[in-house]
Amino acid sequence: MTRVGFLKSVALVLALGGACAGAYLTRERWLSLLMPADHAADADGEHDDHDHAAPPGKVLVSEQAQANLGIGAKKLVPQTYWRTIQVPGTVVDRPGHSDRGVLAPATAAITKVYRVPGDTVRPGEPLFALKLLSESLHQTQTDLFKTVQDTDLARAQKKLLASSGGAVAEARVIEVDNQISRLDVAAKAYRAALAARGFTPEQIAEAGKGNFVTEMTVVAPPAHEGHSHGEAYEMQELKSDLGAQVQAGQVLCTLANHHLLAIEGRAFRDETPLLERSVSEKWPVEVDFREEPTAGWGAVKQPFRIRQLANVIDPQTRTFAFYLPLENESRAVSDEGRTQTLWRFRPGQQVRLHVRVEELKDVFVLPADAVTSEGPEAFAFTQNVNTFTRRPVRVLLRDRQQVVLANDGSLTPGTYAVQSAAAQLNRLLKAGGNGGVPKGYHMHADGSLHKNGDPEK
Could you tell me which residues are beta bridge partners of residue 100?
A: 255
DSSP string, 337-372: TEEEEEESS-TT-EEEEEEEEEEEEEEEEEEGGGEE
Spacing of C-alpha 143 from chain mean position:
60
How many C-beta atoms lie closer than 10 Å to residue 225's C-beta? 6
Quote the Cα angle for 282-313-258, to 5°: 60
Per-residue pLDDT, 450: 62
Give the Cα separation of 189 and 208 in Å (integer): 12
CA pair distance 93, 261, nearest whole angstrom: 5
Name 86's Cβ contacts closer than 8 Å, sequence gap at least 6.
Answer: 352, 353, 354, 355
Backbone angles phi, psi at 363, to 5 degrees: -130, 165
Residue among 286, 348, 307 nearest 92 (CA): 348
Residues 131, 158: Cα–Cα separation, whole Å = 40
pLDDT at 135: 87
Burial class (CB in 10 A: 0-12, 13-18, 19+), 82: middle
- Using the Cα atoms of residue 274, residue 275, residue 280 and residue 281 in order, give the sign of their dihedral: positive
The pLDDT, as a whole number, for residue 42 is 45
CB 58 within 8 A of CB 428: no
Going from N- to C-terminal start, the domains of the chain cover 3-34, 58-81+360-451, 86-94+258-358, 102-256
Exposure b/e, 98-136, CB count within 10 A at least 16 = b:
bbbebbbbbbbebeebbbeeebbbeeeeebbbbebebee
State residue 243 phi and psi, 5-degree precision. Answer: 90, -10
Please give the average pLDDT of every successive group of 10 residues along the chain, which has 457 residues.
Answer: 60 64 60 48 44 67 86 93 92 86 91 89 91 89 92 85 68 83 91 87 90 90 62 86 91 90 94 92 92 82 92 92 92 76 90 92 94 93 89 92 93 93 90 59 59 58
**Cα-based angle 238, 242, 244 (whole degrees, multiple of 5):** 95
Query: What are 181-218's pLDDT values in tens digits?
Result: 999 999 999 999 988 888 888 989 998 888 998 999 99
Cβ neighbours around 142 below 10 Å, total: 14
Phi, psi for residue 272 in degrees, rounded to 5? -55, -50
Report the CATH architecture of 86-94+258-358: Beta Barrel (2.40)
Cross-strand bridge partners of residue 334: 339
| Cβ atoms of 173 and 161 closer than 8 Å | yes
Q: What is the pLDDT of residue 456?
A: 52
Widest CA span of the chain, in angstroms? Answer: 191
Residues 6+ apart with CB under 8 A from 117: 235, 236, 237, 238
Q: What CATH architecture does domain 58-81+360-451 belong to?
A: Beta Barrel (2.40)
Q: What is the pLDDT of residues 312-339, one digit of tens each?
A: 999 999 999 999 999 998 887 777 777 7
Task: Encode burial over 241-256: b for 16+ CB neighbours within 10 A, e otherwise.
Answer: eeeeebeeeeebbbbb
- Name, in order, each residue with C-beta under 8 angstroms of 171's C-beta and a sequence gap of 6 or more: none
Q: What gap in Å lies between CA 421 and CA 369, rounded to an integer?
A: 6
What pLDDT, on the 0 to 100 scale, is given for residue 43? 43
DSSP 163: T
